[in-house]
Chain A
């Protein structure tokens, strides 16, 4: 009788997903990555302040989406592999190398994993770069969006992205896009994490809910 009266909460059995919004944009001299902070298991929010921007190396970050466990594991494995690689070549790794390592794991285990990582960073050879690695594809793009919240902002980013934005404009673009997606997607929310990477290094920033821009809200 006790099982029927108090059924097991569904969040104990639902897979933990980072239903999410992630975005990465290149600007002249670097990249800006952004993400929301909500982790949901079914209908519950199990973590409202998770930072989904994970460092792979000093100037290379990745943005996680999909299953939280899968994405974190891929990021940790690639972090290790990149460390080994950069010792072997005695130099900072290229963003392309990091993206290829992520892509190799995503592709090899594509049946078992369900995570999509966007890899972005700065290297001396090609400057700021953004790579999308969805399902084992490797594609370099001027900007990339991902996660469940990204569907709602396809139109916005198509309309608003311009080549050769400044660092400040790119940061605003990322924050605006995240805010709009968080406003419409039930699985995205919380605070916005923004990481700016250029040749001087990576700068992390957290923008709280009440500091996000306001849009028409009726």
Chain B
């Protein structure tokens, strides 16, 4: 394990966290917990939303240092909007992930934040990309990240099956988050989920149409321990 892993002594507020994203036929589900902690013993926010919408059908979730993660996502959101205007079409999920990766890699000495980028585009459909702290980009059917993810590797390996339906993926995501939050002291609060699909039949319809649904699962209704 390199020095970036499990480093809760990152500057200031850190997102000791659990994040995940799962692909299903027709869309992706991306989820996270909601706790931001300082030094592992003080919870500075119980309800922070780590899911950032960087474009209509592309979401990112953050882990690591909150300040770094927010700075990167804001820069990426801007670059992606600019890119999308230049190309005159919605950006590819790969484009969003590449932008995050460039930023993470070029500034790897100063930054310590990792991301999961997931979304839907017309070219390749639903995709999940993991951008790790040093700037590695890898595409996977599902991925988990953050400090709480170590506790659910076994569960995720056992329970994930390719070709699950949307409801099964939702249950999988909520259960995995609940289990990680139960064991990791720097993950907790509520589970935020975003479900991104190609709904919104007409691409030219404007963004008021619900292209992605956000659901918030409260702590007392999570999966049984």
Extra inter-chain contacts (10) besides given A156-B158, A158-B225, A180-B153, CB under 8 Å = A153-B154, A155-B152, A156-B154, A156-B155, A158-B179, A159-B155, A159-B175, A183-B157, A215-B157, A217-B157
- A184 interfacial contact with B, CB 8 Å: yes
Q: Complex: how many Å from CA A128 to CA B177?
A: 32
- B161 interfacial contact with A, CB 8 Å: yes
- B93 interfacial contact with A, CB 8 Å: no
Q: Please provide the chain B residues from 153 to 181 with a CB less than 8 Å away from any CB of chain A in the complex.
A: 153-162, 175-176, 179-180
- B12 interfacial contact with A, CB 8 Å: no
A-B contact pairs, 12 of them (CB 8 A): A152-B153, A152-B154, A155-B155, A155-B176, A155-B179, A156-B152, A157-B154, A158-B179, A159-B155, A159-B175, A160-B158, A215-B157
Q: Are B180 and A155 in contact (CB under 8 A)?
A: yes
Q: Please provide the chain A residues from 142 to 194 with a CB less than 8 Å away from any CB of chain B in the complex.
A: 151-160, 176-177, 180-181, 183-184
Q: Are A181 and B154 in contact (CB under 8 A)?
A: yes
Q: Complex: how many Å from CA A105 to CA B176?
A: 38
Count how many chain B residues have C-beta atoms less than 8 Å from C-beta atoms of the other chain.
23
Q: Do A151 and B157 form a contact, CB below 8 Å, given A158-B179, A158-B183, A216-B162?
A: no
- A218 interfacial contact with B, CB 8 Å: yes
Contact among B151, B152, B154, B175 with A177 in the assembled complex (CB-CB below 8 Å): B154
Q: Give B224 Cβ to nearest chain A Cβ, in Å.
A: 9
Q: Complex: how many Å from CA A166 to CA B49?
A: 43
Chain A's closest residue to B180 (CB) is A155
Most chain A CB within a 10 A radius of its CB, from B141, B150, B183: B150
Secondary structure of the A side of the interface? Answer: helix
- B200 interfacial contact with A, CB 8 Å: no
Contact among B160, B162, B183 with A155 in the assembled complex (CB-CB below 8 Å): B183
- B140 interfacial contact with A, CB 8 Å: yes
Q: Give A157 Cβ to nearest chain B Cβ, in Å.
A: 8
Q: Give B179 Cβ to nearest chain A Cβ, in Å.
A: 4
Q: Complex: how many Å from CA A153 to CA B150?
A: 8
Contact among A151, A183, A215 with B151 in the assembled complex (CB-CB below 8 Å): A151
- B219 interfacial contact with A, CB 8 Å: no
Q: Are B150 and A151 in contact (CB under 8 A)?
A: yes
What residues make up the interface of B, taking CB atoms closer than 8 Å to A?
140-141, 150-162, 175-176, 179-180, 182-183, 223, 225
Q: Are B158 and A176 in contact (CB under 8 A)?
A: yes
Chain B's closest residue to A153 (CB) is B154
Chain B's closest residue to A183 (CB) is B157
Q: Give A23 Cβ to nearest chain B Cβ, in Å.
A: 11
Q: Complex: how many Å from CA A49 to CA B148?
A: 31
Q: Are A215 and B158 in contact (CB under 8 A)?
A: yes
Q: Complex: how many Å from CA A183 to CA B151?
A: 13
3 smallest CB-CB distances across A and B, nearest first, come from: A153-B154, A156-B154, A155-B152
Q: Mark A190-201, 1 if CB is under 8 A from B, else 0.
A: 000000000000
Which of chain A's residues have a CB closer than 8 A to the CB of B160?
A: 216
Q: Complex: how many Å from CA A217 to CA B160?
A: 10
Contact among B153, B162, B180 with A184 in the assembled complex (CB-CB below 8 Å): B153
Chain A's closest residue to B151 (CB) is A154
Q: Give B171 Cβ to nearest chain A Cβ, in Å.
A: 11
Q: Are A159 and B179 in contact (CB under 8 A)?
A: yes
Q: Complex: how many Å from CA A176 to CA B158?
A: 8
Chain B's closest residue to A184 (CB) is B153
Which of chain A's residues have a CB closer than 8 A to the CB of B159?
A: 159
Which of chain B's residues have a CB closer than 8 A to the CB of A216?
A: 157-158, 160-162
Which of chain A's residues have a CB closer than 8 A to the CB of B225?
A: 158
Q: Are A152 and B150 in contact (CB under 8 A)?
A: yes
Q: Give A190 Cβ to nearest chain B Cβ, in Å.
A: 17
Q: Are B175 and A152 in contact (CB under 8 A)?
A: no
Q: Complex: how many Å from CA A177 to CA B140?
A: 23
Most chain A CB within a 10 A radius of its CB, from B152, B162, B175: B152
